[in-house]
Amino acid sequence: MPFPVPEKPTVDGLEATWTARWDDQDTYRFNRDTRREDVFSIDTPPPTVSGELHIGHVFSYTQGDVIARFWRMRGKNVFYPLGWDDNGVPTERRVENYYGVRCDPSLPYDPHFTPPESPDERHKLSIGRRNFVELCEELTKIDERAFKHLFRTLGQSVDWSTEYTTVGGFARGVSQKAFLHMLERGDVYLRVAPTLWDVDFRMAVSQAELEDREQPSAYHRIAFPRVGAEGTIEVDTTRPELLASCVAVVAHPEDPRFAHLFGTFVRTPLYSVDVPVVAHELADPEKGTGAAMICTFGDTTDVTWWRELNLPTRTLIGRDGRFLPADFTSAEFSSQDPGSAQRHYAALEGRNVKQARSATVEALKIEGNLIGEPREITHPVKFYERGERPLEIVASRQWFVRTLEHREELLARGDELRWVPDFMRHRYRSWVEGLNTDWNISRQRYFGVPFPVWYPIDEAGEVDFDSPLTASHDLLPVDPSSDTPAGYDESQRDQPGGFMGDPDIMDTWATSSLSPQIAGRWGTDLFERVFPMDLRLQAHEIIRTWLFATVVRSHLEFDSLPFKNALISGWILDPNRKKMSKSKGNVVTPLPLIENHGADAVRYWAASGRPGTDTAIDEGQMKIGRRLTIKMLNASKFVLGRLDAHEELSASDVTAPMDRDLLALLGELITETTASFEQYDYARVLERAESLFWSFCDNYVELVKARAYGEGEDRDTKSARATLSLALSVFQRLFAPIQPFVTEEVWSWWHDNSIHLSAWPTLAELGPLPERPGSIYQPVCDALAVVRGEKSTAKLSQRAIVTSMVVSAPSEIAEALRA
RNA sequence: GGGCGCUUAGCUCAGUUGGCUAGAGCAGCUGAUUUACACUCAGCAGGUCGGGGGUUCGAGUCCCUCAGCGCCCACCA
């Protein structure tokens, strides 16, 4: 009696069927009651739900899921959690656009608020902070549903009972606890410092969030008259509008053109402020005139000069990117001609950078201080990666994590980590070597994890930022804007003698860098069983952010790496090998691809991309993946239809030399694929397994048809059946991590358990194997090819009967051919 | 400026420590025709392995050098 197989097996609908079944049977449930050494834990990136559903998700998470499924079959208790990154700027931006609103923290809460029916992009409705946060929560819930649907349809073997969100209560508590630990250890400090600032988002930006963009600009040569001497010093600048914030002119200490000028003064044009000529080796004699003006602040070099040369501060640009009011009679400027300075500055005040620049250039031309015409150039300018205008540098109060003083230890952590592929370690190293500021973790935004601190206000109304009041650990998470510090009550908020809550939220990386602590439920018994994680899974563009930040937090908190291995995936390029981006409009959404080709086919494509290698979207590859799934269905149907469900077959029934040789090849394949998987080389597993499987179908199965049809108890017949059964079982399991749906389907035709909980194939189940795998199988296939070639040349059917054929070969091979 | 990666058939890519005549899939061409599979099967054709030099009995593979593409990092006046 054959196994019951469907008459017309199909790949369509497998996703829905098996996703539901896996839910019912808790197939991927992590068993909390295991020893650490039996666990394989994976640290997965919480996807930013307010971003696009992106084919990149499919690519990198599939590669991780394949690894998770392999280790699960190897008998590990696999911890494969997933959370959603829903806090921070991307969510706020999305809410603003989606509902047409803007957060104004000064507005009160409106409990009856409903978002506008039709959002007006241009005139956004101002709403209070709490209403705004409610909209954020509402929208992220919708987004999370869409993401979860994608991940499930894709066959991610996630234990959904571990699902978390980075703005959820537990994650907030973990973030605040970890922050307070850093504060107690002195790993974090609050400081007013010049900070890179996005004038549209009106928030500070960390070094990790910067990107350079080539921008058109122009050199303007400005003549500064010397004070108390004849002549001028000429300076090239791309930011003439900052002239009023000039605090010095700098040149290289060994530059002979300026050696006699150091210590003298020059007078700024238009504003008549006397500034010193100073020396610093960062001044490049090759650039411009060799002398540069130092402004507070035009770029990060200005910050270095200002700090190292102890220069004064003349702040002009406000948090909104517009020029602030300035008093040129004040000591800050001590202009030699305040009236004229004030008149010139009137053209700048309240204007943005672009407007101020043209006004300044006009004035300089009129006053005769501009030498020649501006010379147009393009040069790299720092932007916030999500921003639209160049960053300014604004002095503001921020929380910083000490990273610079741990540079050497952090480099050593990078060396200690195993990177797949190995060369990705260079990216980490060059990032850590290039760090130039501590990690700024505070953001002047609303939807995120607040800092669990308040500041006392003295009787005079001055805030004491040096003695923050911290929340008690057992009360976390807290919201300092509505909770009160111990010993105070709400009536004292923002009052002399009272307190103020820290107004900021944490940078999104300050939370997601705790993903092992959040997913592993830091503080519970689970954490000891999963930490440090065995594997971190992520794409290469967030090495400097997520990976670096996670290493920092783990190093400071636990003095260890957060994970032992890092599997770094490449980027997805569009079919023309261009990087996908929203602005180019070439972003591919994954669900239609899954619907067209099937999840297993899309996974096949993802698993054929090697770790770290950028891979183009290739629907052709998905079609090949689909062919493989269909082949698996049909081959399984054929083999199982020939077997007797009641017949016990084992490796010892495999007696024919040809059959034993096939098993030897299978054994070789098992050894190789197992080793490859252990090295995270899932792509090689796929390539090798696929190659032998296809040969098995086209050659072996065709060859043994005659024997397999045999009804009798002939030994060779039984040998063929045993081989078919064993080989099918092995192939189904080899493909299970990569194509979980079809393999589960075909496995279910002859097994009760899930293939994903069955054992990864081993050599032992094949019995004693002959040496020299392929020594019979391969010549037979070659001979077959010759025969087929002859038939093809003769334009005959492959079914044509060969009447005579002379083969000279060793007897065993000849024997196999005779069949 | 420093660093990393890539460059093999028309396309997408394998090629593990140097070793028979350089592989696969797709596309192309020629056939087969339906008792597992037309989302099939068989066959054919297609490459001076980016250029140059070197080491070696032997180099796609190791070394040097040049070029192109992509990326990472950098104090970018």
Find residue A279's DSSP bridge partners.
A251
A301 nearest nt, CA–C1' = B75
Pick the closest to residue A151 from A27, A43, A64 (CA basis).
A64
**How many Å does it take to go from CA A678 to C1' B24?**
24
* Strand B atom within 7 Å of A581 CB: no
The per-residue pLDDT of chain A, averaged, comes to 91
Cα separation, A715 vs A719, in Å, equals: 6
Two tokens, residue A459:
């009787």
Gap between the Cα atoms of A84 and A91, Å rounded: 12
Q: Over the stretch A782-802, which tens digit does the pLDDT of each residue have?
A: 787 777 777 766 666 655 555
* Chain A 430-449 residues whose Cβ is under 7 Å from strand B: 430-431, 433-436
Mean pLDDT of A617-636: 94
Residue A196 near residue A398, CB atoms below 8 Å: no
d(CA A97, CA A119): 8
Indicate if CB(A11) is under 7 A from strand B.
yes
Between CA A358 and C1' B34 the distance (Å) reads: 79
* pLDDT confidence band for A813 (50 / 70 / 90): low
- Residues 523-542 of chain A with CB under 7 A from strand B are 540-541
pLDDT for residue A818: 45
Give residue A782's pLDDT.
79
Check whether residue A596 has its CB closer than 7 Å to nucleic acid strand B: no
Output the six-digit token pair for A442: 């505070």
| Residue A612, nucleotide of least CA–C1' distance | B5
Q: Which residue is nearest to nucleotide B36 (CA to C1')?
A: A638
Alpha-carbon dihedral sign for residues A34, A35, A39, A45 = positive
Average pLDDT over residues A442-471: 95
Confidence grade of residue A574 (pLDDT, cut at 50, 70, 90): confident
* Secondary structure of residue A41 in the 3-state scheme: strand
Nearest nucleotide over every DNA/RNA strand to the A639 CA, judged by C1': B36
State phi, psi for A488 to the nearest 5 degrees: -125, 160
Rounded to whole angstroms, the Cα distance separating A584 from A161 reads 38
Q: According to the model, what pLDDT value does residue A352 have? A: 94
Please write the tens of the pLDDT for every residue from A147-160: 999 999 999 999 99
- Strand B-contacting residues in A 716-775, CB cut-off 7 angstroms: none
As to burial, measured by CB atoms within 10 angstroms (0-12 exposed, 13-18 middle, 19+ buried), residue A670 is buried
Task: Round and report the angstrom distance from CA (A642) to C1' (B43).
Answer: 30
Distance between the alpha carbon (CA) of A667 and the C1' atom of B61, Å: 28
Look at residue A482 and tell me whether its pLDDT is greater than 80. Answer: yes
The protein residue nearest nucleotide B25, judged by CA to C1', is: A624
Strand B contact with A799 (CB < 7 A): yes
pLDDT of residue A776: 85
Tell me how far apart the alpha carbons of residues A167 and A140 are, in angstroms, rounded to a whole number: 10
CB-strand contact A788/B, under 7 Å: yes
Q: How far is the CA of A688 from the C1' of B58 (A)?
A: 29
B49 C1' – A691 CA distance, angstroms? 23
Most distant CA atoms of chain A, gap in Å? 116
What percentage of residues in chain A have a pLDDT greater than 90?
Answer: 76
Supply the pLDDT for residue A819: 42
8 A C-beta contact, residue A47 and residue A538 = no
Are the CB atoms for A400 and A332 separated by under 8 Å?
Answer: no
CA of A423 to C1' of B5 (A): 8
Is residue A261 over pLDDT 90? yes
Answer for A407: CB within 7 Å of strand B.
no
Å separating the CA of residue A647 from the C1' of nucleotide B10: 52
Condensed to tens digits (0 to 9), the pLDDT of residues A656-713 reads 888 999 999 999 999 999 999 999 999 999 999 999 999 999 889 888 886 766 555 5
Instruction: Find, among A620, A604, A608, A631, the residue nearest to A731 by Cα.
Output: A631
For A536, list phi and psi in degrees, rounded to 5.
Answer: -110, 135
Q: Coil, helix or strand for A712?
A: coil
Number of Cβ within a 10 Å radius of residue A460: 7
Q: What average pLDDT does range A328-352 have in this prediction?
A: 94
User: Residues with Cβ < 8 Å from A320, sequence gap 6 or more?
Assistant: A199, A202
Q: With a 7 Å cutoff on the CB, does A714 touch strand B?
A: no
Is the separation of the CB atoms in A295 and A245 below 8 Å?
A: yes
Supply the pLDDT for residue A579: 79
A257 touches strand B (CB under 7 A): no
Task: State whether the beta carbon of A145 lies below 7 angstroms from any atom of strand B.
Answer: no
DSSP classification of residue A187: -
Tell me which residue of A567, A724, A742, A511 sits closest to A10, measured CA to CA.
A742
Strand B close to A25 by CB, under 7 A: no
* pLDDT of amino acid A796: 62
- Residue with the larger pLDDT of the pair A17 and A805: A17
Angle A249-A250-A254 from CA coordinates, rounded to 5° = 145
What number is the average pLDDT over the span A567-585? Answer: 81
pLDDT at A710 (0 to 100) = 57
Region A479-508 average pLDDT: 95
- A287 CB neighbours strand B below 7 A: yes
Is the C-beta atom of A300 closer than 7 angstroms to strand B?
A: yes
pLDDT digits (tens, 9 = 90+) for A376-390: 888 889 999 989 899
Asked if pLDDT for residue A631 goes beyond 50, the answer is yes
Mean pLDDT, rounded, for A322-348: 94
Amino acid code (one letter) for A111: P
Q: What is the CA A607 to C1' B10 distance in angstroms?
A: 25
pLDDT band at A645 (very low <50, low <70, confident <90, very high): confident
Residue A13 Cβ < 7 Å to strand B: no
Cα A441 from Cα A168, distance rounded (Å) = 19
pLDDT band at residue A278 under the 50/70/90 scheme: very high
* pLDDT classification of A532: cutoffs 50, 70, 90: very high
pLDDT beyond 70 at A814? no
Q: What is the pLDDT of residue A37?
A: 95
What 8-state DSSP symbol labels residue A165? Answer: E
- Check whether A363 has a pLDDT greater than 90: yes
Q: Is the CB of residue A31 inside 7 Å of nucleic acid strand B? A: no
What are the pLDDT digits (tens) for A724-775? 999 999 999 999 999 999 999 999 999 999 999 999 999 999 999 888 888 8
Burial class of residue A204, CB neighbours in 10 A (0-12, 13-18, 19+): buried
pLDDT at A592: 92
Q: Provide the β-strand partners of residue A274.
A: A267
* Residues A70 and A760: beta-carbon distance below 8 Å: yes
A781: phi then psi, degrees, rounded to nearest 5: -60, -40
Mean pLDDT of A122-131: 90
The nt closest to A541 (CA vs C1′) is: B72
Amino acid at A620: G
Burial (CB count <10 Å: 0-12, 13-18, 19+), residue A64 = buried
A284, closest nucleotide (Cα–C1'): B77
Q: Taking each helix axis from N to C terminus, what angle separates A682-695 and A619-642, rounded to the nearest 10 degrees? A: 50
Whether residue A260 contacts residue A317, with contact meaning beta carbons closer than 8 Å, is answered with: no
Residues 211-250 of A with CB under 7 A from strand B: 212, 219, 235-239, 250
Contact status, residue A444 vs residue A503, Cβ threshold 8 Å: yes
A193 CB neighbour count, 10 Å cutoff: 18
Give nucleotides in strand B with any atom < 7 A to a protein C-beta.
2-5, 12-15, 24-26, 30-34, 36-37, 39-44, 70-77
Q: How far apart are CA A367 and CA A241, in angstroms?
A: 15
Residue A576: CB less than 7 A from any atom in strand B? no
Q: What's the pTM?
A: 0.93
pLDDT single digits (tens) A298-308? 999 999 999 89
